[in-house]
Amino acid sequence: MSRASGSPDLIGSIALVKQTPPRLLLSDKTFRIHVNRKMEASFFAWCLSSRALRGQIECAISGAAGLANNLPQSRLVAFVAAIPPLAEQQLIGRFLDHETTKIDALVEEQRRLIELLKEKRQAVISQAVTKGLDPSVPMKDSGVEWIGALPAHWSLLRVKDVAGLESGHTPSKQVPEYWENCDIPWVSLNDSKQLAASDYITETAFQISALGLANSSARMLPAGAVVFTRDATIGLAAITTRAMAVSQHLIAWCPSDNIDARYLLRVFNVMKQWLDAATFGATIKTIGMADVKKLVTPVPPIVEQRAIAAFIEERKSEFDSLIDAAERATSLLIERRSALISAAVTGKIDVRGFAPTPEPAAA
C-alpha cells in the first residue's frame, strides 16, 4: 500500500501480493500489511479500496500537520471498517474479483474504442489536409515524408512564406507592475491543456499588463493568429479569437491572404507527430527557430482550403461526439465499480448466494 506520493489520489493505492517473493524490498513510500487468520487478504484489499476507507485516508492525509501528501502509520492503524465472519469475507472477495473483472473488461473495451476513434479522426484530418476532397485529381510527390503525394495543382511552400512568423516573450517577473492590473491575454505553456483540447483559445491562464507588454519583446497579435508551442509538447496549436500576446515558448503564425487559419491549424494537427525528429533537449524538448522556419505546408487554392477546413470541422465534430459518449460510458463503469466495492464490503449487498457463472467453453 502506498503511503506517500506527489499526488494525494495515489496514496492508498493497493496491490495484493498473493505469494510473497523470497526477497521483497519496499521503498519508504510503501506499507506492507500482514493480515491475521481472522482476516481474508482479498477482502481486506477490497476494503482498503472502498469509498469508506478512501474517505478515512483523505482525512488522515489532510490532518497530518507538516506531512503533506503522506499517510502516517499511526493514522493507518486507527482506520475503522466493518468486518464480517471469515467465510463471508472470502465470499465477498470472490464476488468482487468476479464482478470487477467483468467491469474492467468493459472499461478496457471502451478505452480501445476511444483510441480507435481518435486514430480514425486523425486519419480523416490527415487525408483531407494532404490529399484534398477529390480522390480523382492527378497527384505529385511532395518529397516530404508526412505529406507524401499531394494534388498536382497544389503548391508546397514554407509556412513562413504564407503566414507571418511572430515569436513571444515573458515580461520580467521582478517588476510587479508588469503583472498587475492585467487585461492582455498571454498564451504560455500553462495553456497547453487548452491548446491540446480546443481548436480556439479565448482565455489564458495568465494575463500581462500594457506596461509589461511595452517593456518586453512580445507584441500584441491579431485575432485569427495560429499559436504553436515550440517547447515541452511540440506543435500544440489553436486559433486566437481576440488580440493576444505569447510567451517565448510559443510562436504565432499570422495568415496571409494565401492561407486560411483553419486549414493551417489542421496542417499543424497532422504535422505534430512528425515534429519530434526536429527537437532537441534532454529535459525539455524544443524546436529551434531555424527548424521552425523550414516547416512546409501544402497550399491548395484558398477556396479549396476553406472547403477542406469545413469538411474536417464537420467530421471532427462527429468523432468528438462519439468519443465523448465513450468517455462518459467509461466514467459510469468506473463509478459503478467503486459503488459495487463499497456496497459489498459494507454489507449492503448480500452475496451469500453468489455462485460465479461458468465461462462458456472455447469453440
Q: pLDDT tens digits for 186-242?
A: 999 999 999 999 999 999 999 999 999 999 999 999 999 999 999 888 999 999 999
pLDDT tens, position by position, 86-100: 888 889 889 999 999
Domain residues of the chain, as ranges? 8-83, 99-135+302-351, 155-299
In order of 129, 302, 317, 321, the CA distances from 124 in angstroms are: 9, 20, 12, 15
Helix, strand, coil proportions of the chain in percent (round to 5)? 45, 15, 40
| Sign of the dihedral defined by the CA atoms of residues 258, 260, 263, 265, in that order | positive
Residue-wise burial string across 8-29, b where 16 or more C-beta atoms lie within 10 A, e elsewhere: beebbeeeeeeeeeeeeeeeee
- Residue 175, burial from CB neighbour count under 10 angstroms (0-12, 13-18, 19+): middle
**Helix-then-strand count for the chain, H and E:** 9, 14
Q: What is the pLDDT of residue 62?
A: 57
Under DSSP, is residue 276 helix (H, G, I), strand (E, B) or coil?
A: helix
| CATH number among 3.40.50.1370, 3.40.190.10, 3.40.50.300, 3.90.220.20, domain 155-299 | 3.90.220.20
- Indicate the pLDDT class of residue 316, thresholds 50, 70 and 90: very high
- Return all residues near 332 (Cβ < 8 A) that are at least 6 apart: none
Q: What is the DSSP letter of 159?
A: G
Q: What would the grid cell of residue 263 be?
A: 486549414
Q: What is the pLDDT of residue 285?
A: 81
